[in-house]
Every structure is written in structure tokens, then in C-alpha cells.
Copies of this chain bind each other. A is one copy, B any other.
Amino acid sequence: MKPESRYQEYKTLMGRIADLDFANAVLGWDQQVYMPKNGSEGRGRQMATLSTFSHELFTSGKLEGILRDLAEEQNLDDSQRFNVQRTLKDVLRKKKYSEAFVEEMALTTSKAFGAWHEARTKRDFKVFEPLLAKIVELKRQEAEFLGYEEHPYNALVEDYEPGLRVSRIDEVFDQVKRELFPFTREIAARFKPDTSFLAKTFPKEKQWEFSKRIIEKMGYDFESGRADDAPHPFCTTFAPGDVRITIRSAENEFNMMLFAAVHEAGHALYELGLPQREQYGLPLGSALSMAFHESQSRFWENSIGRSLPFWKGQYGTLQKLFPENLAGVSLADFYRGVNAVEPSFIRVEADELTYHAHIYIRYLIEKALMSREIEVKDIPSFWNDRYQEYLGIRPSHDGEGCLQDVHWSYGSFGYFPTYSFGSFYAAQLHAAMKRDLPDFDGKVERGEFSAILKWLREKVHVHGKRYSSDELLTRVTGEPLNGNHFMSGMRVKYGALG
């Protein structure tokens, strides 16, 4: 068979797998957004069936056979060769999962979600503990059959940021501990802006009017997406021209909708910038990693959305929308208010500085669980002691402590570090963009985001999975991840603020 037609077979098979996965994404979205209560049992089994078909196709001898033929083939172009090699690597990794393991994990996590939810509501870790212990035991097994060097945690991180290792995470967090934590304490101690106006009543429709205006200016196109209300904000892709976000709001918390909408729109712009049409379901049409995905959302949320130039340009409009709340609040005071720094218990409500302490604590726990330095029963006290140590506050119950995040109930271990890495990538991209794009702050102030989006599309989005994060950062910024960009950005910003 000609290499072209063999490659076509590979593309067809991967396309069908992508069809199943995207269909499953629609089911998952509907489950969060519109599904009536009594639909959940059927939906659960339908999503499991689609996952099983997708997994079976991906790990079938058929795909592997095609890939092994193509791996020998000399007449592929670079992009084709990359797709083949990367897919073969992923297939070999997925094949290590036995059917029994996958089933047990699915069964355990489906029970665990309910238990977690109940535990959080009752503020009682004991309700979640047995199932979490089971999950941790399964994750330990998973690391063993996947294989790793140095630390079992490395096997799990690989799913979210390929190539990232505990040694490197430790290195990056050493700088965080050495520089960011003392700086955060210093800022929190002296910078105490008024935030009371953010808790006035902001009607939801008008919040959305403003948020929609902003994400459209960013370049999010409502012919290729939409926004629906959901209990948690997220971004999900159904097709190359259908990438949706969800939003939530509280009338007395201005911060809740806008920054989350900008964050999710940042994820969506990345997905919409990937060459998904030409590379449908293939590595070159897919996002580099969860960490890089987070760099795109954090860039728009923090580097743009919480910046002074942005508010210089947009605050007048916001004031006009909410005169009763903001007429007496100056631009400077508003900007200070949305950048307040204060240690708090809940990660998703944390500011740009304290956020990384939340992540670091979760990382320490996950790593210690995987190396058996602690067991699940030790989590509450370990968690609370670390909050005391790094944030100077101690949760009064596990609901505002170790039960706040859903991730572990899904079996997601190794994900949390990508939140910090994404932020640090974003800062490094931000610094490079300021060098590349003349009058960057002026553009942001005037709401001219097209040059910024173009830069991200050409430098980042278009490459899909072609490079590792450090390779791509090196191509785009001249060096691999360097935490100094984040630190110096924060020093400049908060130096001016506080």
C-alpha cells in the first residue's frame, strides 16, 4: 500500500476517535449545563460507552499496526512523521492500562464524586476518606505499571505536562518559596486597598453585557462558540468551529464573572487557534499540554485583564454601566481593588500572588502520597499545617480546607502543578510579547487585541503539540521556563501598587 493511503487510514481512524471524544464532550457539557436531574444515570452509562469505544479504537491492534508501518516509512513529510511518532508513543502508554484497572478506576471515581460532594457539604473528611484512599492506591499502581524514573509522581504528571519531572517542579517551587512567598507576605502586610465596592449589587445581565464585550474584543467569536451558565466555569471543544465556555456570577461579587469569562475565553482562543480542521484529532491539531493551556487563560486573565492599561481603557465603560456602584470610585482605586492581595482559604478565589501557595501545598500532598510519606488519613492535618506555614491562616473545617477541590475525586493527581506553571509561562510570553509588539500597553489600553491574538496564534497556537513547552518557550522567548519573568512582573506591578 502507498504511504499516502496508509497515512490516510491513520487519519480516518484518528478522526473517528476524535468524533467519539468530541461527542462525549457534548454529553459532558450538557450534563453540567442543561441536563435535568433524572437524566444522570443514563448519561453516566452513555459517556462510559463512548469512552470505552474510543479507548478500544485507540489501543486496537489496527491502529498500532498502521502506526508501526508508517514509522518505517521514509516518504512522510515532517508533520506526518511527527503525528505518527507522537501517536505511537501515546498508544503504547495507553495500552499499559488493563481493562480491569480502567473499570475499577471508573467505578471508584464515579462513587468518589458523590462521596466528595457529600463530605464537602457535611465538612466531614471521613465521608470521603475510604474512597480517596482507594483512589490513591490505584494511582500508586498506575505509576508502577506506567513506569517512571526517580519519583512515582513523575508518571502521573506526564499526562498534564509531558516531560515535566519532580526535580524540575521542586526547582521552580524553590524559587517560589525563596522569592514569591516572602514578597507576598510583604505586599499583603502593606497593601490594603478598599474592596468594598466590589461587593455591591452588580445585576447579572449587566455583568454579562460587559464580560461579553470584553471577550468579543479579545477575538472570541459567537459564531464559533457560546457561553452558558454553569456551576463551574470551564471551556470545552466540540469541533474546530465550536468551542464553548461556561460562566457563573454572583450579584454581590464583581470579581466572579468577568475574570473567569476572560480566563475561559483565553482557553477557547487557544483551541480555536489550533489547526484543528487540517489536523482533526491528530497531535498537531491538539493543545500542547494542560500547562500550556493554562498559560493562555492566565495570560488573558492576569497579564491583560488585571493590568492597568486594560482598566485605563475599559473602566469608563464599566462606570457607565454601574454608576450607582462606581461613580465615586476612581480608576486607581478600582485597579487597586481588583488586585488586592490577601491570604484566603479557597484557591479559586485567590489573588495572583497567594494563588501559588495553594498550588504548592496540593503538590506537596500529592507527592508525599505517591511516595508513601503520608497516607490519606494524614491529609487534613498536613493540609492545615501547611496553610498555617505558607499562608498564615488555618482552615476551621475541611470544607474550606482539603475538601474544596474536586480533582482528587476524579483521580486527577499531577494536575495542580500545571496551574502554577501555566502562570509562569504566561508571564514569560507576556514579557516577550512586550518586546515584539510596539506600543503594547497602548494597544491594550485601546482594546486593540488583534495584534496580541495574532502573535499568540502564530507563535503558539499553530504548532499544536509539535514542541515541548520548554522548546516552544525557547523558540518564542529565547529561553526555557525562567521563573524570573513572573517574579519581576509581580515586583513591578505590586511595587507600583503598594
Residues of A within 8 A of B (CB): 15-16, 19-20, 22-24, 26-27, 30, 34-43, 45-46, 49-50, 53, 221-226, 228, 238-242, 244
Chain B residues within an 8 Å CB radius of A39? 224, 238-239, 241-242
Query: Quick check: A241 and B19 within 8 Å, CB to CB?
Result: no
CA distance A372 to B205 in the complex (A): 59
CA distance A38 to B240 in the complex (A): 8
Query: Quick check: A239 and B50 within 8 Å, CB to CB?
Result: no
Chain B residues within an 8 Å CB radius of A41? 239-241
Chain B residues within an 8 Å CB radius of A46? 19, 22-23, 238-239
Other CB < 8 Å A-B pairs besides A23-B50, A36-B244, A39-B238, 8 of them? Answer: A19-B49, A30-B30, A35-B238, A37-B224, A38-B239, A41-B240, A42-B240, A43-B242
Query: Quick check: B239 and A37 within 8 Å, CB to CB?
Result: no
CA distance A45 to B36 in the complex (A): 27
Partner of A223, one of B23, B36, B224, B240: B36
CA distance A35 to B34 in the complex (A): 14
Quote the shortest CB–CB distance from A26 to chain B (angstroms): 6
Partner of A36, one of B16, B38, B49, B242: B242
Chain B residues within an 8 Å CB radius of A40? 241
Chain B residues within an 8 Å CB radius of A221? 38
CA distance A49 to B222 in the complex (A): 26
Quote the shortest CB–CB distance from A46 to chain B (angstroms): 4
Quote the shortest CB–CB distance from A370 to chain B (angstroms): 35
Residue picked from A20, A30, A38, A223, most chain B C-beta under 10 Å: A38
CA distance A35 to B41 in the complex (A): 25
Known A15-B45, A19-B46, A46-B22; judge A38-B226 contact (CB<8 A).
Answer: no
Partner of A16, one of B15, B19, B49, B228: B49
CA distance A41 to B225 in the complex (A): 14
Residue picked from A34, A46, A238, most chain B C-beta under 10 Å: A46
Quote the shortest CB–CB distance from A70 to chain B (angstroms): 22
Quote the shortest CB–CB distance from A7 to chain B (angstroms): 19
CA distance A242 to B39 in the complex (A): 5
Quote the shortest CB–CB distance from A15 to chain B (angstroms): 7
Q: Which B residue's beta carbon lies closest to that of A20?
A: B49
Quote the shortest CB–CB distance from A103 to chain B (angstroms): 14
Query: Quick check: B19 and A50 within 8 Å, CB to CB?
Result: yes
CA distance A224 to B19 in the complex (A): 28
Chain B residues within an 8 Å CB radius of A34? 226, 228
Chain B residues within an 8 Å CB radius of A239? 38-39, 41-43, 46
Quote the shortest CB–CB distance from A28 to chain B (angstroms): 10
Query: Quick check: A242 and B26 within 8 Å, CB to CB?
Result: no
Query: Quick check: A22 and B36 within 8 Å, CB to CB?
Result: no
Residue picked from A37, A39, A224, most chain B C-beta under 10 Å: A39
Partner of A224, one of B23, B36, B225: B36
